Structure 1
């Protein structure tokens, strides 16, 4: 269920939790969380997208079939990560 920014801010107030506390507990940038809440970030991908889903501003998409090009990108990212983690000798 998608929620508006004002409703989410009210929930923080009602439960005595600051936006900063929530962001830090989840490992998100405080500034980016505020940007998502203020509508300054599109939240269409990356961390801002993850924040919007965690806040309930966006629904997590239910994807049944992953397109081939997405798998290609994921494979490339894994390969890059492995190269970065490999110790240099």
Structure 2
């Protein structure tokens, strides 16, 4: 791996971790439930991106599968939380 790619991966991981920390602050302090759901959705997305960068770094396909699972669970949880906030129930 070239030095440029290694440096780019380190900077990218640091940016993702910083963004996750800021989203965690919004998750805890969010004034409304919609802000908290949006922060949780951002944390899911950043976690998936973090795993994809780690997959590139370590050249391991298992990280790609874990990122796919995080994407699927994140979408389902965001959709169910949005439906719950709109209607007050998840299952009709």
**TM (normalized to structure 1)?**
0.28
- Specify which structure has the higher proportion of helix: 2
Name which structure has the greater RCO, CA cutoff 8 Å, separation 6+.
Answer: 1
Flag the structure with larger Rg: 1
**TM (normalized to structure 2)?**
0.27
